[in-house]
Amino acid sequence: MRICEIFYSLQGEGLLMGIPTAFVRTMGCNLDCEWCDTPYARDGGEEMEVDEVVEMIRSFGVEMVCITGGEPLIQDDTFVLIDSLLTMGHSIQIETNGSVPLDTLPCYEELMISMDLKTPSSGMADRMVMENLEALSIFDQLKFVVSDREDMEYVESVLSEHDVKCPVIVTAVGGVDLREVADWVLERRLEVRVLPQLHKIIWGDERGR
């Protein structure tokens, strides 16, 4: 499989924020978001066997693994990696951008789907597979990254039109004041969690963090 980087850090986003985690960032993405914070994961990388990836993960000595990208679900070997890690007893979070159907993923409590739903400011909102919202269980999470009022109204619209079973997280694009997002959530009385990106607070844009 094509790998961008493998590293050990704290989970910086979502419900598992702060947990020591082994990260596998795959190479390649099928979207081109305006505010993408990992453009270096689009091209290049290193070809690795799944067994090599597993060995690097094992060297960190942690239970939690996050498979991210790019978009990991566009590589067939990602599913092989998931099966291998589950067999070994790891807990996995798979981060996906909402544009790839989720019906091929196995269903385990130990596998959390962390799905972004791209907002209008990303330029990719029309690429979302909205049926994925029905595939998310109480063990998963749905994330929205917002940059302006239009994005926030989009989040409210999606949540009013779909029965989302999992926790919903809203965070801000880098450089946008999270207070504005928090004030909006309180004003609209939305049942969501407003969270920062912890890794950026601690390490900024440093890679491998």
**186 part of a folded domain:** yes
DSSP per position, 120-183: GGGT-GGG--TTHHHH--TTSEEEEEE-SHHHHHHHHHHHHHS---S-EEEEE-TTS-HHHHHH
pLDDT attached to residue 11: 97
**209 part of a folded domain:** no
Structurally, the chain folds into a number of domains equal to 1
Q: Which domain holds residue 82?
A: 2-203
pLDDT, mean of residues 40-57: 96
**What 8-state DSSP symbol labels residue 106?**
-
Q: Indicate whether 132 pLDDT > 80.
A: yes
Name 172's bridge partners.
146
pLDDT attached to residue 209: 85
Q: Where does the pLDDT of residue 125 fall: very low under 50, low under 70, confident under 90, or very high at 90 and above?
A: very high
**11 part of a folded domain:** yes
Q: Indicate whether 208 pLDDT > 90.
A: no
pTM of the full structure:
0.96
- In our burial notation (b when 16+ CB lie closer than 10 A, e otherwise), range 149-187 reads eebbebbeebbeeeebebbbbbbbbeebeeeebeebbee
CATH value at residue 136: 3.20.20.70
**208 part of a folded domain:** no
Q: Where does the pLDDT of residue 175 fall: very low under 50, low under 70, confident under 90, or very high at 90 and above?
A: confident
